Structure 1
């Protein structure tokens, strides 16, 4: 049984390799060149580009990448589950489904469950980690799919961006929303909705108040936070992430933390100074 995902999950490459998770690279265009996320370009290159005022562009996983991997799995008699970037934010999920259907025409016995995680970044990453845990516990494919289908909608994404213009440029939010967010040091607090879309959740004056409000949403929505691994993510601001981590530790004493940097694709849309927390509701 193989677990597959894509580079939008923002999990470290070392983790994916250690647990034999196959990943598909979304694409990043920078300075006239096209790169495969993780394989050809990493987050620090995007951070530097953003500091210089450049505007990286992104695109979904190529159809050929899906087809080649799915066909090879079918030839080998493998089965698996692909945990995909939210279909509301990318065409990646739809392309994967289309390529699977094409492969299945030639290999009708091929079984691959494609799950729209309705998640992004480390929220998607937590779903992948849970899939790995369940697989390594000895679950069958059907048991794994049933568990992940129930688990994924419970993953909460709460994040703060320093500048909404990046999301507006990529079409993820409206320009009017971005304009309001840029006023008076207002820090927009956003979420990924149950439909997998970016939605405005709240706003705060400055980062410290934003952290307090993030903690308040964790109190309101979280379940058994003391037994959870909490996901923490930052975009070139580790000090801010540690401040958020200390606040969560003091309030909830969770089981532990999964910490990561915003990857090349996601950082192209959220910009520098973004920080986020991911947990189960």
Structure 2
């Protein structure tokens, strides 16, 4: 059986990984003023954006995911003939309409795909499963890497479905951002009051950086640490402890809102890499998507892994 895997642009995996593993991308478009920027996970284009004049306006950006009709067209024009079964892994539905759009598209093609497949010489049924990864950015990537591993190991469709839904509900994502004022401006533009002006001003004045935890569709601060370098070093050290204790899947995914050389130079990162290597855990690195950067700002770090319930710092 030909099994396809689909992710959206916010899933922080390198373009080379997606291409090598035949993972299909649902692009997200970023609108800044009158300019439309397609987010195709092009690392060079994303880094060029950071150096360009539009980056100063990114707090006012609008992210536009594929509509149900666009997803329907993608499936009917390509995926129903390229694959027999598709797993579509989306950004958490609590932060984007993409999941619901994909579900709607899935229903709409049920009565349309058969003639398309038959014309291509396929008389067998086509099946689509949309899975909410319940997380963001690097944490989304954990489910995608597991999907690739399962497919390549010869897992059956029921085995993949059960495993991917289990993993998605156990992925932990963590994030440290550099600029709370940016986060506040971005949240205000989107109508999200989770970052107040007072807390942003106080945090910036004291150089306090919150560590945010994403889990099962919710995002909340779990620590406040003085200094960005100190915050990421603490985060990397914590993740290293979870790796040593044993993860649910052998992967840790990291993304950074800038050049990866800057990520690799952050305190504690080299030790995390060494810990992953010594425990047989794959560490994937990606430049954060354009979608992610306009939402959380330049220089942010996100990291994800699948693990049981835990408390930050323990």
Farther-moved stretch of structure 1 (220-229 vs 124-133): 220-229
Which residue of 2 is the match for residue 65 of structure 1? 70
Distance 1:39 1:122 in 2: 13
* Max Rg structure: 2
Structure 1 residues 45-124: aligned runs within 5 Å: 45-49=48-52, 53-55=56-58, 56-72=61-77, 73-74=79-80, 78-107=84-113, 109-124=125-140
The aligned length equals: 280
Q: TM-score, normalised by structure 2?
A: 0.79
Are 1:9 and 2:29 matched, yes or no?
no
- Structure 2's unaligned 5+ residue stretches are 115-124, 308-314
How big is the shift at 1:71? 2.1
- Give the whole-Å Cα distance in 2 for the aligned partners of 1:207 and 1:215: 12
Q: Unaligned regions of 5+ residues in structure 1, if any?
A: none
Aligned to 2:305: 279
Hey, what's the Cα distance between the residues in 1 that align with 2:50 and 2:113? 43
> Does residue 1:245 correspond to 2:269, yes or no?
yes
1:207 and 2:228 aligned: yes
Question: How far off is 1:75 after superposition?
Answer: 5.7
- State the TM-score, normalized to the length of structure 1: 0.87
Deviations 1:255-278 (A, max 9, x none): 342111111100111111211322
Residues 27-66 of structure 1 show CA distances to partners (whole Å, capped at 9, x for unaligned) of 1113512122117893213322478522233122233320
| Cα 1:204/1:271, change in 2 over 3 Å | same
Partner-residue secondary structure (3-state), 2:96: coil
1:26–1:173 CA distance, 2 compared to 1 (3 A) = farther
- Post-superposition, which runs of at least 4 consecutive aligned residues in structure 1 deviate over 6 A? none
| Aligned mate of 1:129, from 145, 160, 165 | 145
